[in-house]
Structure 1
Amino acid sequence: MLSSYFAAINPVALELGPLKIHWYGIIMGSAVLLGLLLAVREGKRRGVKEDDLIDLVFWVIPAAIIGARLYYVLFEWSYYKDHPSEIIAIWNGGLAIHGGLIGAIVVGYWYVKRKNVAFLKVADIIAPSIILGQAIGRWGNFLNQEAHGGEVGRAFLEHLHLPRFIIDQMQINGTYYHPTFLYESLWNLAGFVLLLFMRRWNPKRGEIFFTYFAWYSLGRFFIEGLRTDSLTFTGPGWLESILNALWSPMKVVFKAGAMDSGNIRVAQLISLLLMLGAIFMIIWRRAKGIAKESYQDRDPEPKLEPEQSIEG
């Protein structure tokens, strides 16, 4: 009966001889382009040059991809040390968002400092683009049939009133799985709307950026517990107990996804630390009076030095 339902979407969108163009790449490219257009539009309103934002993207995107892949490979080194040729096969998935954020922030900070632009000003402008890109990018995982949760029945998915193409794609080798890609995509889309509203509220500079981390990390912490492909490591029992206790409200409705090894999900731990760190930064910067400029404030134009006469 399953075969009468199931019609998996081919992850390859187009083949040109030996060249295969994957839907994953098309979706990620579309997410980057849309995010750039939104950032450029907002940058013009906030006094940031269009060329600077475009150049920033050309620096940040490669850094994010490299960081995301290296992060993933590092935690899956037991596999990749025996399959080194697959390290560059990013079209098959295997990009860790936290690694991508590390690469993007490091290179982005270096770039904006070269341009003498306030880092948090630019970070606030692009934060909505980042979370929107993540919302779109999760559909690449959907087409690759990855980043899903544990086993569920078809009836469970139908009860969620999901479109048939999503239900069918969640059937892998005869088993249906939690569409965690969808949960996270919707959560990120809600975060995108929140960050857009924050622009109207005119918070202190940096607070849109920090709110992005807090919002995304909160959702990722709980959704990650449903997944079966989490990067893991073996940590102390007390840390495992804390993470399990924080995730326990989810057990009222959901069953935690199985872990192949280890007892700590890397993304859960990092998400918890990022969320707490982002909240701390907002409170601490306000308490110490560090957060002076508001989001809508324009930086003063640089003063030009008067030309000096040359005495003969």
Structure 2
Amino acid sequence: MKVILFYIGDYPVRSYGLVVALAILLSLGLARYLARDTIFREHLSSFTVTAVISAIFGARMWEVLFFQWSYYSANPLEILAIWNGGLSIQGAIVGGIAAAIYYTWRHKLPFWEFVDTLAPALMFGQGIGRIACFLNGDAFGSPTGSGFGIVYPEGTIAYERYGSQPLWPAEIWEGQWDIVIFGILLAMKNKRLPKGMLFLTSQCLYALGRFSLEFLRGDTPRFLFDWTAAQWTSSVVVVVTVSILAVLVYRNRMQGRTSLLKEE
């Protein structure tokens, strides 16, 4: 666990930025593999640029507005210091979805098929990205009250708040959950499913896992029902994705019945 890995001259190479960059590159490589023999492959490089910019903006604004507004409102210049951490995955997802909607509309691509293709790569990248949070000492858990847990070193945000107390490994478990979802999506990928089901399933499962793990988090404020902003966001995501999934499944069944009637 190290915030700054090494220096190039006077320039610090931070673990957070390096791992995030690695997660993006690995996700792009996986997406290119998943999109082989499809019309989407040729669009991935240009879409990635649009998606990364939109995701970083969404991730930072989500963190500033919903997680640490009291701090950033008092230190507005710190909003630009993304190398210090403070990027919300949920905000990045919102930014990425916005980029996908815009890109598929502009290039006349089928949206649901596009995001279904990219869903496994997205979850894989999220799993790798949580390593960045661990190395940076953010997205940490609350004290475990026992000898079990992660003890963060001096120089991390976690140490500044809790000192040398063992904390729940919330960010590590979330990264592992992302990889589990990645495996589930790969198992579903070759099945005949309604368009959009792969992507919506990934978001629903992630939201359920995030909601549960937020009870262990010790770095975000809590609101009504003692829920964090991420839990409120996750609950909305679950309701929305399940509703859309129900509509897609219903339409798929109706189309299947219509096809059978035409054949008869």
TM norm structure 2 = 0.87
Amino acid at match of 2:51: V
Match for residue 214 of structure 1? 204
1:72 aligns with 2:63: yes
User: Number of aligned pairs?
Assistant: 248
* % identical equivalent positions: 31
Give 1:153 deviation, angstroms.
5.3
Match for residue 108 of structure 1? 100
Cα shift readout 1:68-105 (whole Å, capped 9, x = no counterpart): 10111113222212212211111111111121111111
Contact 1:205–1:292, Cα closer than 8 Å, also in 2 = no
Match for residue 240 of structure 2? 277
1:132 aligns with 2:95: no
Larger Rg: 1
Quick one: distance in 2 between partners of 1:223 and 1:99? 17
1:25 aligns with 2:17: yes
Match for residue 227 of structure 1? 217
Give 1:272 deviation, angstroms.
1.4
Return the match for 1:84 from 51, 71, 76.
76
Give 1:10 deviation, angstroms.
2.4
Structure 1 residues 98 and 281, CA, compared in 2 at 3 Å: closer, same or farther? same
Match for residue 176 of structure 1? 166
Q: Which has the higher helix share?
A: 2
Contact 1:214–1:274, Cα closer than 8 Å, also in 2 = yes
SS of the equivalent of 1:15 reads strand
Match for residue 45 of structure 2? 54
Quick one: distance in 2 between partners of 1:291 and 1:108? 28
1:268 aligns with 2:231: yes
SS of the equivalent of 2:36 reads helix
Structure 1 residues 154 and 19, CA, compared in 2 at 3 Å: closer, same or farther? farther
Quick one: distance in 2 between partners of 1:148 and 1:65? 20
Q: Please identify, of 169-178 and 131-140, the stretch whose mean Cα deviation from structure 2 is larger.
A: 169-178
Give 1:154 deviation, angstroms.
6.1
TM norm structure 1 = 0.74
Quick one: distance in 2 between partners of 1:271 and 1:213? 9
Quick one: distance in 1 between partners of 2:213 and 2:143? 15
1:97 aligns with 2:89: yes
Quick one: distance in 2 between partners of 1:110 and 1:229? 33
Structure 1 residues 228 and 275, CA, compared in 2 at 3 Å: closer, same or farther? same
Quick one: distance in 2 between partners of 1:139 and 1:229? 17
Give 1:228 deviation, angstroms.
1.1
What's the C-alpha RMSD, in Å, of the aligned pairs? Answer: 2.1
Give 1:156 deviation, angstroms.
2.3
Quick one: distance in 2 between partners of 1:196 and 1:189? 11
Cα shift readout 1:119-138 (whole Å, capped 9, x = no counterpart): 11110011111111111111
Contact 2:23–2:129, Cα closer than 8 Å, also in 1 = yes
Quick one: distance in 2 between partners of 1:95 and 1:85? 15
Runs of 5+ unmatched residues, structure 2: 257-264
1:193 aligns with 2:202: no
Quick one: distance in 2 between partners of 1:231 and 1:124? 34
